[in-house]
Structure 1
Amino acid sequence: MSTEEVFSFAKQMTDSITCLRDGGHHLQAVMLTYVAIEQMAWLSVEPLRSGPADFQKWVDSYMQPYDPLPCTAREIWEARNGLLHMGTAESSANRDSDEIRLVCYVYGSTPKLSNKSEGVVFVRVEDLVTSYLTGVLWFLTYLHENPNALRVAQGKIARMLTQRPLQL
């Protein structure tokens, strides 16, 4: 069995994220990165449905150990919620809990930011994308070593709406 289908899907998502970022659409690149993380998390679990815990587990398993971001998997999940659902950096968890910091985005060659607020964390768009890509590589390594997990991922890839070459 091969991880080729999963790699091909991840490459399509990465190419799209890069296209948005290179076109100056940084927030849209972040949005698509969150979608890509969510889809990778879905590929990593047995049931047809996945949720917040699966997203956070994928971040903790494949992104944070190898290319850590300055925020927790839960904060990344909440940042995703705020951006995808409301177009804001803030989610309801930021308002309801002192434990979940607000994730603010910066991009480009920004100088080292001095963060004087305990309730805010800064994430470079490029770092989020790089951490996702690193996560994909480690996830592919895991799939290569675990045939049952690879079968689950391949079965789900087959269900996805993707662009495939026409078979004549």
Structure 2
Amino acid sequence: MCYENKSFRAAIILIYSGIDAMAALDIPCGQTVSGRNDFIKWCDRYLKFKSMEKITGTELYAARCGIIHTYSSESDFLKRENCRQIGYMDRSAMDVIYKPDIDETLVMVSVEALINAFFSAINEFLIEALSNSGRSRSLKKG
């Protein structure tokens, strides 16, 4: 709904919040809270774009920190990790655009592609989690 109403920043914030929630569902038994590493691990495992150019969980976490904490694409985590900054674009023929000859520190992601990748990631995660009886029990407790 945010995307359809061209509230792109709101859509992006909700997606990153959703990833936080999915990563929390994926924590090992006995771990009580999720954190940065869980978010990164979940993204690396499940969030895939239809693109040759890969975006890492670390880059997505840096983008998450930027949009949630500074309402921008920059964050302290981005600077510390020295990873590519994620910029956002509306619908595009390519999900991800990276042109290192122009700027090797920036990668552009279609908001629509981010939404699609997130929903596909949820599907893959839930199918995997619910087919694993140990994980299925931990999901049902929440």
Structure-2-length-normalised TM-score: 0.85
CA distance in 1, matches of 2:98, 2:79: 23
What code does the residue aligned with 1:135 have? A
- The aligned runs of 1:17-166 (5 Å cut-off) are 19-45=1-27, 46=29, 47-64=31-48, 70-98=54-82, 100-109=83-92, 115=99, 116-156=102-142
Larger radius of gyration: 1
Instruction: Please give the secondary structure, in 2, of the residue aligned with 1:121.
Output: strand
3-state DSSP of counterpart to 1:88: coil
Percent of matched pairs sharing the same residue: 26
Deviations 1:31-69 (A, max 9, x none): 0000001101101113220001111111112223x7567
How many residue pairs get aligned? The number is 136
Provide structure 1 residue ranges, at least 5 long, that are not aligned to the other structure: 1-18, 157-168
**Structure 1 residue identity aligned to 2:136:** L
Question: Which structure carries more helix by proportion?
Answer: 1
The structural deviation recorded for 1:71 is 1.6
| Structure 1 segments of 4+ aligned residues over 3 angstroms from their partners | 66-70, 109-114
Taking structure 1 as the reference length, the TM-score comes to 0.73
Taking the aligned partners of 1:50 and 1:123, their CA distance within structure 2 comes to 26
Cα RMSD (Å): 2.1
